[in-house]
Amino acid sequence: MTVRAELVEFWREYERRTNGHLVGPWGELLAEDAVYWFTTGSFVGRAAVMEAVEHNFRVIEDEVYRISDVEWVAAAEDSAVVRYRFSWVGVQDGQEISGAGRGTNVMVRRDGRWLMLHEHLSV
């Protein structure tokens, strides 16, 4: 399998697990030293990122997260960068809510596995 094919597969799995709303399986795709920048703050380390995402999974019911306009900026044997657009819709306190924006992610291959090292989301 080519590096690009591996990355596309990893990226699809990342979106699938995001929509699974289970932080444990989702967190398996994160590097221990992951850093995530959300509009709500910055989270350093796998545990902190997982806690922030678990909070979102808890407060936004029935969320559907979609990724589009994926552009692979760089793809090498052990690292990759991707830019994309995202959108989501869900329910909070009985009201439908939604959002959209742009994202940039950095992935690294460690011990033969692709892992998410960094995510930066902006609206």
Cα–Cα distance list, 72 to 5, 11, 48, 94 (Å): 12, 11, 27, 37
- With a pLDDT cut of 70, the percent of the chain lying above it is 100
Report the pLDDT value the prediction gives residue 108, as an integer from 0 to 100: 99
Residues 101-116: what's their mean pLDDT?
98
CB distance 121 to 38 below 8 Å: yes
Which domains occur in the chain, in start order? 3-122 (3.10.450.50)
Q: What is the pTM of this model?
A: 0.93
Model confidence over 43-67: pLDDT tens digits? 999 999 999 999 999 999 999 999 9
CB distance 62 to 69 below 8 Å: no
CA 74, chain centre distance (Å): 17
| Residues contacting residue 7 through CB under 8 Å, at least 6 positions apart | 72, 75, 80, 82, 107, 114
Distance of alpha carbon 104 from alpha carbon 60, whole angstroms: 23
Model confidence over 20-47: pLDDT tens digits? 999 999 999 999 999 999 988 999 999 9
Position 10 confidence tier, pLDDT thresholds 50, 70, 90:
very high
Report the pLDDT value the prediction gives residue 67, as an integer from 0 to 100: 97
Model confidence over 62-103: pLDDT tens digits? 999 999 999 999 999 999 999 999 999 999 999 999 999 999
Report the pLDDT value the prediction gives residue 25, as an integer from 0 to 100: 97
